[in-house]
Structure formats: structure tokens, C-alpha cells
Amino acid sequence: MKFLLGILLVALSAVGVSFVLPWWTVAIFSAIVGALIGIAPWKSWIYGFLGLFLVWGIWCYIIDQANESILSNRMADLFGLENSFLLILISALIGGFLGGFGAMTGSLFRKLFSKQKGKKKKRRKFRS
């Protein structure tokens, strides 16, 4: 349940702040969501990745369809890509990595300052 909530919160925060703030601020809001949800860092990376991958992928597709793929085909030619779908996929992957690392940073930040309840650190004894 926390996993789906994380995907939803990352996606909604990305859509909400993208109209007002620069594109890179979605990583900050993903970190805030990662700190609030408080699950394992690798799971938070996955929901951060999925949340922003879906938002940026769908958003790029909607913009691409609105201008009949004129701009994306020209940009794909400029980058040497075969078609505009690859450009949309690369944009979504960049957003996914941005959200994933942001959420993982927030989760690790929470883990850094949380107290371990009832767990003692085990010391390894090295034999020489």
C-alpha cells in the first residue's frame, strides 16, 4: 500500500510543481516523499522511478500528439534517432532516474536520522 501511495504522491507532486518551478525541483519533492513514506531505499527508488517515468512519458506523448510530432521528429533527427518514440522514451527515462534517485535520497536521509529500535549493531570479529 505504501508503494502505490509513493508512486501516486511522486506523480502528483511532479505534476503540481512542474507548472511553477524548474524541472529539477521534482527531485526535491521526490526526496520529500521518500522521507515521508519511509520504506527501504531500493523500494523507494522503484516508486520514485515509476512515478516520474509515467508522468514524463505521458506528458511528452501528449505534447507530441498535440503538435503532430513535428518538433519531436526534428529533435530525433538532430540526435540521430530513428523516430520520435525513442526521444519520448529517453525523456521518460531521464525523469524516472531523477525521481528514483530523489526518492532514494529521501529514504536514506530518513534512515540516517531514525533511531534503531531494539537492534544492536553486531561487531564482526576478524581472525588473524
Per-residue confidence (pLDDT) for residue 107, from 0 to 100? 93
pLDDT tens digits for 13-65?
999 998 899 989 999 999 999 999 988 999 999 999 999 999 999 999 999 99
The alpha carbon of 86 is separated from its chain's Cα centroid by a whole number of angstroms, namely: 19
98 CB-contact burial (10 Å; exposed 0-12 / middle 13-18 / buried 19+):
buried
Give the C-alpha separation, 99 to 48, whole Å: 5
Yes or no: say if 27 and 102 are a contact pair by the CB < 8 Å rule.
yes
- Let me know how long the chain is: 128
Q: Alpha helix locations (H) across the chain? A: 2-18, 25-37, 41-66, 70-79, 84-113
Give the angle subtended at the CA of 94 by the CAs of 91 and 99, to the nearest 5°: 125
Give the angle subtended at the CA of 97 by the CAs of 40 and 95, to the nearest 5°: 125
Per-residue confidence (pLDDT) for residue 42, from 0 to 100? 92
Percent of the chain with pLDDT over 70: 93
What is the grid cell recorded at 92? 521518460
Q: What's this model's pTM, rounded to 2 decimal places?
A: 0.81
Give the C-alpha separation, 113 to 123, whole Å: 21
Average confidence score pLDDT of the chain: 89
